[in-house]
Each structure stands twice: as C-alpha cells, then as structure tokens.
A and B are shown apart, each in its own frame.
Chain A
Amino acid sequence: MPVITKDLVSVLINTGGSTRVAKPVAPRFRVGDRVLVRTLNPEHHTRLPRYARGKRGTVEHDHGVFVFPDTSAHDEGEKPQHVYTVRFVARELWGPSAPERDTLRLDLWDDYLDPAP
C-alpha cells in the first residue's frame, strides 16, 4: 500500500477518490419513471435511510454507475449500478401536515428501488 508522503498530499486532496465506475451497466429505470423504494431492514451497511423505505417517488436524474455501498463496506465487491436522484413530495414522506409544495431529493442505487405498481 502506498504511504501518503508530504509530496503526495496535494494529489490525495485534489484528486480524491471517486466511487464512479467506468463500466457499462444497464440502468433499471429512466428519468420520469415512478419508483417504490424497497422496504429493507438490512443488518449490514446501507445508504437507504429508513424514512424513505416503502415510499413512492419519481426518477429525476440518472447519475451513472457507482460502487454499491452495501457490498463495498463488507468486502463483497463493487456491485456497480446506477444511482438516481429520486424526487419525493414532502407529504409522501411526512404526511398531510407537510407543506403541499415542498419536496425532497434523495440519491438512490438501483438495488433500493422497484417500479411503482
């Protein structure tokens, strides 16, 4: 493993380490698709917050292919897949007391989503 020396610091900071993966993986959804977030309760690492599980939203943007954290955190490989910005209306997440106009965006991996029935 490379030891970060003083000379390498600016490379480390200015380059960073994108988790974007340059592999042709087919997206499961398209912009405009209605999706239902899966109801999952994994004991492992996940980037799917509880408040979004079981909620309906709309795919607003496809950001391309990224490493999947749920496997990457556990030495189970990159499992590269698309990440989408999904739009939720606030009332879908928080109920009728939320202002009708307000919304929330969440970036979600393919494996967190199903087509909305």
Chain B
Amino acid sequence: MNGVHDLGGMHGFGPINPEPNEPVFHHEWERRVFGVMMAAFGGGHFNVDQFRHGIERMGAVEYLSGSYYEHWLHALEALLQEHGTITVDELASKWKQFAEGAH
C-alpha cells in the first residue's frame, strides 16, 4: 500500500539527531511491548508480514506522530483482535481496571 510508512526519498522530516549513549529501551512500557510482541510472535499468533502490515494500516498522522513501540503496540492490539485471540470488550475491561487501579 502507498502508505506514509514508505518513506524513502521524502523531504521535510528534519535532522536525524542521534542520541549519544542511547539505552536499549527508554521506558518500562517499551520493554513490555517488545517482550509481549516477541512472545506472541513466537507463539504463532501472526507472521512477520501480517505484523508489518498491521503497522502500515495505522492512520498516517498516528504513524508519524507515534514512536516505534507505539507502532508495535497498535499492530499487536489490531492483529490479536482481528484473529479472534482477544475481543475489544475484554481489552476495554482491562483498560478500565488498570485506569482505576492506577489511582
């Protein structure tokens, strides 16, 4: 698909700004997204092409404003729902539970 992920040759994204001594992960949630994705991938819940396409199907604005592990999280949630592994209602009830538990 001609998505915004197909970045090669585009202008206007500004300087590259490499971070010196960058850590492997910047936040605890990034660690968990990485680990859960690998465990789910290893468990055969989706293949690599489905995963990449899951990222590409994000909205263009969301893709460009979101970080790498936000892309992964989006694809994980989308694919696991599409494949019937989880339902949005199950997920929503967990969101509610953790949002309440956090306060």
A–B interface present (Cβ within 8 A): yes
Given contacts A19-B48, A45-B52, A51-B8, contact A4 B43 (CB under 8 A): yes
Q: How large is the interface on A (under 10, 10 to 19, 20 to 34, 35 or more residues)?
A: 20 to 34
Q: Is the CB of A2 within 8 A of B52?
A: no
Query: CA–CA, A19 to B47, complex, Å?
Result: 10
Q: Is the CB of B48 within 8 A of A17?
A: yes
Q: Is the CB of A43 within 8 A of B53?
A: no
Contact with A along B21-51 (1 / 0, CB 8 A): 0000000000000000011001111011110
> A19's closest neighbor in chain B, by CB?
B48
Shortest distance from the beta carbon of A99 to any chain B beta carbon, whole Å:
16
Indicate whether A69 reaches chain B with its CB closer than 8 angstroms: yes
Total A-B Cβ pairs within 8 A: 50
Shortest distance from the beta carbon of B100 to any chain A beta carbon, whole Å:
29
Q: Is the CB of B49 within 8 A of A50?
A: no
Within 8 A of B (CB), among A68-112: 69, 72-74, 93-94
A-B contact pairs, 26 of them (CB 8 A): A1-B43, A1-B45, A2-B43, A2-B44, A3-B43, A4-B38, A4-B42, A8-B42, A12-B38, A12-B42, A17-B48, A44-B1, A45-B49, A45-B56, A50-B2, A50-B6, A50-B8, A50-B9, A51-B9, A67-B49, A69-B49, A69-B52, A72-B47, A72-B50, A73-B47, A74-B53
Interface set of A (CB-CB < 8 Å, partner B): 1-4, 8, 12-13, 17, 19, 41-46, 49-51, 67, 69, 72-74, 93-94
